[in-house]
């Protein structure tokens, strides 16, 4: 009778020494083959299944999922052969075999999901199947009164559920639905935390998912910053300088927020430098409001000074690489543009006060800055920046000519 055989060995994937159990199982298989009686042949199927499962686990841990899938499939066949003994099995034997069968089915689904090149939809479908297998396994091990095995299955189930949400989050990111991605990644984080509670070996995934959430939040905030920047640009072109200034301020704050979420130092510095650049644009918009709308050159002077300061800060921390050369040159053109207007606006004040010599000196300084701005704008290959600076340079030359005419 099968019931006369000792209690079947249980497999604990987290605590069992895989080499020891493989050796033990191999010895049991040899012993059962020597016995040769019907009961021994029946129990032999269980241990042959367990032996294939152990080989599969070794491949699984090594990341060789195709090989693991082959061995898990073989393990399932052997265990099912054992289960077909039906009435010849004790309740304990039935439950242990069923638990191992469900574990094996879950692992097969995992391997299908993890095989290189699998489509995300297929990965999710297979992981859901694995979760279902482990959910049923939890019911079985609860009946066996094996708390450790229950914890193992709970850990696996929660980990895979977290992995499902993580993949769904990545899908949402690919579709640029960052809000949905954020929700999915937060759900994933929660399940990874549960998995780590049941088994601390999953703790590493909490850190991994935390980084994923930060990356998603980074993408969300960066997209918002870019959107506000675009709105500010359109408002400025339409002459709505105060509204443009507010949008620049909002964009600057968002870029600064993005810098705190960046995982890479380069991204952090890029976001910080963009924050300074948008703050410079904010001051520029205020200056335009004073000059073009309110005809108040005096109030515009400090705005251009502040714009130049912010632009300098932005350039100082910009992470410079060869492929960033054109952007840096465009920003440098913008810096000289602000400096030029700083002098030119003061020149206009002197001109209005009929202090022509002082005005001429300031307009000359302005022209020097605009010439530098033109040089940088040309290298940047940005026609819009070049056109903007060229117009300012022409104005400076016009003011210089006006002053010289009066002084001559």
The stretch 58-64 carries a mean pLDDT of 94
Residue 90 pLDDT > 80, yes or no? no
Amino acid 4: pLDDT: 54
Report whether 374 contacts 341 (CB < 8 A): no
Q: Is the pTM of this model over 0.95?
A: no
Residue 88 banded pLDDT, cuts 50, 70, 90: low
DSSP state of 87: G
* Beta-carbon-side half-sphere exposure of residue 109 (alpha carbons within 13 Å): 21
Amino acid 49: pLDDT: 93
The torsion angles phi and psi of 145, rounded to 5 degrees, stand at: 55, 50
CA–CA distance, 197 with 156 (Å, rounded to integer): 11
97/256: higher pLDDT = 256
Residue 7 pLDDT > 90, yes or no? no
Q: How far is CA 267 from the centre of its chain?
A: 12
The stretch 243-247 carries a mean pLDDT of 97
Helix, strand, or coil (residue 54): helix
CA–CA distance, 247 with 226 (Å, rounded to integer): 10
Amino acid 39: pLDDT: 74
Closest to 222 in 3D by CA, of 246, 170, 257 = 257
CA–CA distance, 244 with 285 (Å, rounded to integer): 6
Domains and CATH numbers, the chain: 2-198 (1.25.40), 235-407 (1.25.40.280)
Residue 343 pLDDT > 80, yes or no? yes
Contacts of 56 (CB under 8 A, 6+ apart): 67, 68, 69, 70, 71, 72, 74, 75, 104, 107
Amino acid 408: pLDDT: 77
Using one digit for the tens of pLDDT, what is the confidence trace for 191-244? 999 999 999 989 999 999 999 999 999 999 999 999 999 999 999 999 999 999
Residue 1 pLDDT > 70, yes or no? no
Closest to 97 in 3D by CA, of 146, 63, 47, 133 = 47
The alpha carbon dihedral of 374, 378, 381, 383 has a sign of positive
Treating both helix axes as pointing N-terminal to C-terminal, what angle do 178-198 and 203-237 enclose, rounded to 10 degrees?
A: 160
Residue 261 pLDDT > 80, yes or no? yes
């Amino acid at each position: 009778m099968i019931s006369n055989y000792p209690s079947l060995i249980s497999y604990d994937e987290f605590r069992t020494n895989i080499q020891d159990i493989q050796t033990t199982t191999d010895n049991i298989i040899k012993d059962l083959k020597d016995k040769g009686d019907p009961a021994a042949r029946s129990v032999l199927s269980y241990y042959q299944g367990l032996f294939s499962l152990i080989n599969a686990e070794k491949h699984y841990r090594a990341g060789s999922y195709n090989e693991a899938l082959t061995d898990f499939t073989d393990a399932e066949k052997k265990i099912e052969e054992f289960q077909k003994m039906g009435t010849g099995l004790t309740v304990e034997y039935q439950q242990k075999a069923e638990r191992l069968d469900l574990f094996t089915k879950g692992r097969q689904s995992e391997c299908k999901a993890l095989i290189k090149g699998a489509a995300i939809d297929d990965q999710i479908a297979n992981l859901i199947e694995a979760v279902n297998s482990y959910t049923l396994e939890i019911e079985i091990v609860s009946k066996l009164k094996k708390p450790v095995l229950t914890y193992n299955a709970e850990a696996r189930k929660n980990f895979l559920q977290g992995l499902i949400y993580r993949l769904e989050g990545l899908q949402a990111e690919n579709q640029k639905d960052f809000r949905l991605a954020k929700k999915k990644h937060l759900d994933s984080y929660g399940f990874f935390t549960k998995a780590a509670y049941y088994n601390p070996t999953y703790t590493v995934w909490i850190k991994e998912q935390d980084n994923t959430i930060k990356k998603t939040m980074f993408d969300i905030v960066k997209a918002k910053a870019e959107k506000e920047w675009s709105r500010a640009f359109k408002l400025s072109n339409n002459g709505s300088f105060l509204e443009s200034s507010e949008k620049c301020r909002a964009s600057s704050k968002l870029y600064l927020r993005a810098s705190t979420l960046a995982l890479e130092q380069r991204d952090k510095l890029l976001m910080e430098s963009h924050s300074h650049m948008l703050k410079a644009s904010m001051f520029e918009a205020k200056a335009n409001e004073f000059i073009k709308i309110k005809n108040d050159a005096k109030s515009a002077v400090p705005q251009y000074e502040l714009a130049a300061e912010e632009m300098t800060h932005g350039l100082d921390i910009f992470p410079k690489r060869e492929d960033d050369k054109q952007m840096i040159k465009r920003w440098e053109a913008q810096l000289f543009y602000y400096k030029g207007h700083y002098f030119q606006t003061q020149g206009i004040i002197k001109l209005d006060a009929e202090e022509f010599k002082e005005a001429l000196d300031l307009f000359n300084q302005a022209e020097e800055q605009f010439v530098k701005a033109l040089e940088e704008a040309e290298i940047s290959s940005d026609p819009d920046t070049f056109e903007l600076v060229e117009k300012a340079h022409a104005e400076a030359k016009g003011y210089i000519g006006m002053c010289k005419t009066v002084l001559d």
